[in-house]
């Protein structure tokens, strides 16, 4: 825990120095004091903070983010063609879909990925059923959205986290997909 506190303190100090834009004794002292006070103030949350991602999880997340960047670039080009050349023609529609995601964090991640991608906006996500309402600029984008690679990437990341959570419960560790629920002893799935 001490190692994690020192890491957070160093990260907060580095952030302070980047934001302040000055590296002089006054800014160093103020940043160090504020970083130490912040870490001390939030120390009770330490057990509730999620643990750092493993190497495999970082690779999966990196792959997902690279795919998202690629889709954002493709969507920028597609939206520009739609607006400038009317090809395909603008035909905004609402799509109601239920992607095969089980956890709320995966749904939130997908909703943000959809909203970040030009030409699509997540209007609503029902946390109980996992149903998404998405506004899409063109019919072509709606068809592509139903078989979007990002959904598969997030599903793969979700299954990786679920396997880790099952392993943690099998070895009697208090880490779950949702650390707060795990500390409370609630190891049920999101569908309860």
- Determine the pLDDT at residue 176: 47
Count the domains in the chain.
2
- Determine the pLDDT at residue 46: 62
- Considering the domain architecture, whether residues 29 and 99 belong to the same structural domain is answered as no
Average pLDDT of the segment spanning 98-123: 91
- Considering the domain architecture, whether residues 119 and 60 belong to the same structural domain is answered as yes
Over 80: is that where the pLDDT of 69 sits? yes
Q: Report pLDDT digits (tens) over 97-107.
A: 999 998 888 89
Q: Is 172 domain-assigned?
A: no
Of the two residues 44 and 77, the one the predictor is more confident about is 77
Q: How far apart are CA 92 and CA 180, in angstroms?
A: 40
Q: Is 37 domain-assigned?
A: yes
**Structural domain span for residue 66:** 55-156
Q: How far apart are CA 185 and CA 174, in angstroms?
A: 8
- Determine the pLDDT at residue 110: 92
Confidence category of residue 120, pLDDT binned at 50, 70, 90: very high
- Considering the domain architecture, whether residues 7 and 30 belong to the same structural domain is answered as yes
CA distances from 167 to 81, 96, 176 (A): 48, 35, 9
- Considering the domain architecture, whether residues 87 and 133 belong to the same structural domain is answered as yes
Q: Is 177 domain-assigned?
A: no
- Determine the pLDDT at residue 169: 54
Average pLDDT of the segment spanning 75-94: 88
Average pLDDT of the segment spanning 47-73: 80
**H-only helix segments in 21-103:** 25-41, 55-85
**What percent of the chain has a predicted confidence (pLDDT) above 70?**
79
CA distances from 110 to 69, 132, 162 (A): 14, 10, 17
Q: Is 75 domain-assigned?
A: yes
- Determine the pLDDT at residue 146: 81
């Amino acid at each position: 825990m001490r190692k994690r506190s020192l890491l957070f303190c160093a990260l907060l100090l580095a952030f302070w120095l980047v934001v302040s834009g000055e590296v002089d004794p006054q800014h160093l002292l103020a940043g160090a004091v504020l970083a130490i006070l912040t870490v001390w103030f939030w120390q009770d949350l330490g057990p509730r903070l999620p643990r750092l991602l493993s190497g495999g999880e970082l690779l999966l997340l990196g792959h997902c983010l690279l795919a998202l960047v690629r889709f954002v670039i493709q969507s920028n080009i597609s939206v520009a063609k739609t607006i400038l050349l009317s090809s395909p023609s603008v035909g905004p529609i609402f799509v109601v879909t239920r992607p095969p995601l089980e956890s709320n964090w995966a749904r939130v991640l997908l909703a943000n990925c959809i909203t970040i991608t030009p030409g699509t906006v997540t209007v609503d996500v029902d946390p109980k059923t996992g149903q998404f309402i998405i506004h899409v600029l063109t019919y072509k984008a709606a068809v592509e959205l139903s078989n979007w690679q990002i959904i598969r990437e997030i599903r793969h990341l979700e299954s990786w986290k679920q396997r880790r959570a099952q392993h943690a419960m099998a070895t009697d560790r208090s880490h779950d997909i949702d650390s707060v629920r795990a500390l409370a002893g609630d190891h049920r799935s999101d569908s309860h």
